[in-house]
Structure 1
Amino acid sequence: MSSPGRQPRRPRRSPSPEQRQRDPERTRARILTAATEELSEKGIAGLRVSAIAARAGVNKQLISYYFDGKDGLLRALGTRWRERKRDYDRAEWSFPEVVAAYTHAANSDPVGTRLLGWAGLTYPTGKEHPDLPASAEQWRRDLDDLRRRQRDGELADDLDPACVLLAVVAATAAPTLLPHIAYGITGAEPNSPEFVRHYTEQMTRMIDRLSARRRPPERRE
């Protein structure tokens, strides 16, 4: 019997199969989001599983259960980035349109871009990065796509697609990774919506100048 004045307890309802399936997905997503934010702020060397767990509101044991530690988290974050990257890798888009999409994304939501910067500082050659095999394969696919675009006339024949790809990746991320230089050169807040729009538009123009279809400048004697 229940105590006087106290409502009888309702029987605990077991979660449905769908709920049991979704909960791990939500938990994994919360952990990955918290890890992204922690990494963006503190870098890979400063990453602490306990801090990620506290930010995600989960027991830190779940991080080991779902990701098998720090290296597994980094691999999962790489996978998440590549999944989002599909939104910008559209064959029907021109090269300037693809770069514009990357530029806007890299600077309007800069957390993921900072992760690339931290990875470079922590693993200068990339050889020790836990996500190296998958990320290297992604860069190879990006380079193959740029070579295809060069054959189609979107990139001048005298340009090395590998060097162009490296330069474009650096340029799209520059306002986020080098905000002090961006501010010193332009006098604008590099994270402001106005600057991001302007920089994206200028990147589109610059990339368009690399096209083989444009008439090369006349040489002066």
Structure 2
Amino acid sequence: MASSRKPSPDGRARTAEETRERLLAAAVAEFGAKGYAGARTACIAARAGVNQQLISYHFGGKQGLLDELRRRREKIQATIVPPGASFAGRIRAYLDATFDRPDWARFVAWQALGDCPFADAEEERLRAEQQREKTVAAVAEARRRQENGEVRAGTDPAFALLAAYAITLAPVTMPQLVEDVLGGDPLSPETRRILRTQLVRLLTDEQTEEDE
């Protein structure tokens, strides 16, 4: 005879947390594949293997999922680059993040296209202003690193930063082009190796793995 015992409070909490995590993983995959506008909660629930109503229960709807993913992304961003990394080290770290978490990279690309709306217009304005400030600071940091010899002399540091961003995201934003140009799976280990090596050679004077 099957046990009729109810789950303990701890068991229910674990189940709820597991459901939330499955929904978030499904949401980042769905948003990454279709963007926020194209994503459907029914498809997110199907990916997660749960009832669609649980999205409203745990997050209040699709916007709530998006807001939580934004918070998660900020935490992830803070851990991508190792402390004290050189400009070349930062390139490798961000490139590895794209290959290790392609769904998140696609999600970032959709955000850059303005597809992920904020529920509050004032919050959206403040976030956009913060992002501009971060970008200006990143360009200033690239200039400082060039003065320290980390960015190839004669290369505009702002261009170096833009090229690093663009090529780092290329395997998820332009997968067919990457495959045609390099002749292989855009997210394969070989493509990762090529991009890691060539980006560092292009933008810095640091010795690459193949040069050693």
TM-score scaled by length of structure 2 = 0.76
Partner of residue 32, structure 2: 40
Partner Cα separation in structure 2 for residue 13 and residue 66 of structure 1: 21
Partner of residue 64, structure 1: 56
CA contact (8 A) 1:175 1:182 kept: yes
SS in 2 for 1:191: coil
CA contact (8 A) 1:107 1:173 kept: no
Shift of 1:200: 1.4
Partner of residue 47, structure 2: 55
CA contact (8 A) 1:34 1:56 kept: yes
Report the AA paired with residue 140 of structure 2: R
Q: 5+ residue gaps in structure 1?
A: 1-6, 211-221
Matched, 1:137 2:133: no
Higher percent of residues as helix = 2
CA RMSD, 1 decimal: 3.0
Partner Cα separation in structure 2 for residue 57 and residue 198 of structure 1: 37
SS in 1 for 2:38: coil
Report the AA paired with residue 25 of structure 1: E
CA contact (8 A) 1:108 1:196 kept: no
Shift of 1:121: 4.4
Report the AA paired with residue 65 of structure 2: L
Give the aligned length.
Answer: 198
Shift of 1:34: 0.7
SS in 2 for 1:45: helix
Partner of residue 201, structure 1: 197
Matched, 1:88 2:77: no
Which of 163, 166, 174 is the aligned partner of 1:167? 163
Q: 5+ residue gaps in structure 2?
A: 207-212
Partner Cα separation in structure 2 for residue 88 and residue 10 of structure 1: 46
CA 1:77–1:135 in structure 2 vs 1: closer, same or farther (change >3 Å)?
Answer: farther
Partner Cα separation in structure 2 for residue 159 and residue 184 of structure 1: 28
Partner Cα separation in structure 1 for residue 35 and residue 69 of structure 2: 14
Q: Deviations over 1:41-86 (max 9, x none)?
A: 3332221111111221222222123222222222211222222222
Matched, 1:98 2:94: no
Shift of 1:134: 4.4
TM-score scaled by length of structure 1 = 0.73
Report the AA paired with residue 188 of structure 1: G
Report the AA paired with residue 192 of structure 2: V
Which of 2, 9, 15 is the aligned partner of 2:8? 15
Mark the structure with the bigger radius of gyration.
Answer: 1
Q: Deviations over 1:17-48 (max 9, x none)?
A: x3343333222111111111222233322211
Report the AA paired with residue 198 of structure 1: I
Q: Deviations over 1:72-125 (max 9, x none)?
A: 2222112222222222233311111011111122134322222233334454xx
